[in-house]
């Protein structure tokens, strides 16, 4: 089992992480994301996916419903995403409308957490992730 340690700022309101999305042609894109243990699935901003060429267009009539912080309206399979040092190929995520004022490109949801043993060490500002061993 390979542990990976990722530092985060304990003074921030959320656990912010920089990670990498790699296109099929090998071009890497830096992603600004936050861990969201309340999100069942990972979501990427439609604006980020449009800017990086993963989407041809965004849905123009997306309205934020009361009480929701994002609005999912599609799904996409990303060729390669590396989060906390762990590469995941053909990773399906939701396409969502985010408020641009948040300054993030993605929410890392429970679909990531289900693949790894995750320890959040707030005292030291470290996220420790380990793949589950096959039984």
> Which one, of 124, 72, 113, lies nearest residue 93 by Cα?
72
Would 135 be classed as within a structural domain? no
Give the global pTM.
Answer: 0.87
**Predicted pLDDT at 5:** 94
**Predicted pLDDT at 134:** 54
Would 29 be classed as within a structural domain? yes
Would 127 be classed as within a structural domain? no
Q: List the domain range (segments joined by +) for residue 112.
A: 14-117
**Predicted pLDDT at 135:** 43
Would 112 be classed as within a structural domain? yes
Would 95 be classed as within a structural domain? yes
Q: Name the domain count of the chain.
A: 1
Would 46 be classed as within a structural domain? yes
pLDDT tens for the chain, 135 residues long, are 588 999 999 999 899 999 999 998 999 999 999 999 888 999 999 999 999 999 998 887 766 555 456 778 899 999 999 999 999 999 999 999 887 788 899 999 999 989 999 999 999 999 999 987 754
**Predicted pLDDT at 98:** 85
> Which one, of 54, 8, 38, 33, lies nearest residue 105 by Cα?
33
Report the CATH number that the domain containing residue 97 is assigned in CATH.
Answer: 2.40.70.10
Would 9 be classed as within a structural domain? no
CB 98 within 8 A of CB 70: yes
Would 133 be classed as within a structural domain? no
């Amino acid at each position: 089992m390979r542990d990976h340690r990722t530092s985060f700022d304990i003074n921030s309101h959320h656990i912010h992480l920089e990670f990498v999305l790699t296109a099929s042609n090998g071009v890497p894109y830096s992603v600004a994301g936050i861990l969201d243990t309340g999100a069942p699935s990972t979501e990427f901003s439609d604006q980020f996916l449009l800017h990086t060429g993963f989407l041809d267009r965004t849905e123009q009539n997306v309205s934020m419903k009361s009480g929701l912080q994002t609005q999912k309206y599609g799904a996409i399979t990303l060729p390669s995403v590396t989060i906390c040092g762990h590469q995941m190929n053909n990773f399906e995520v939701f396409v969502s409308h985010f408020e641009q004022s948040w300054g993030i490109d993605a929410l890392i949801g429970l679909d990531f957490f289900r693949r790894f043993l995750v320890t959040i060490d707030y005292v030291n500002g470290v996220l420790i992730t380990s793949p589950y061993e096959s039984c």
